[in-house]
Amino acid sequence: MDWLGTIALLLGVILIILGIGMTFHIAIVELVMTSFMGVIAIIFGLILAVGGAMIVRGE
């Protein structure tokens, strides 16, 4: 399995769990999953920023 497929699978599972928490109004699930997704967004943002800087610097 490649990285893109692994990431897509992980995000899909996270969104399913978050959707279940929102559908049945399970507050603790919503809180934990939104915090976890926030951390993932920060990590992906840093990876993209560093990768973009490397591409710009390389040209």
Burial class from Cβ neighbours inside 10 Å (0-12, 13-18, 19+) for residue 29 reads middle
Average confidence score pLDDT of the chain: 82
- What is the number of structural domains in the chain? 1
Residue 1 has a pLDDT of 59
- Better-predicted residue by pLDDT, 47 or 30: 47
Phi, psi of 7 (to 5 degrees): -65, -45
44-57 pLDDT, tens per residue? 888 888 888 888 88
Which range marks the domain in which residue 27 is found? 3-58
pLDDT digits (tens, 9 = 90+) for 6-16: 778 888 888 88
Q: What is the per-residue pLDDT for 13? A: 86
Provide the token pair at 56.
Answer: 């710009």
| pLDDT score of 4 more than 80 | no
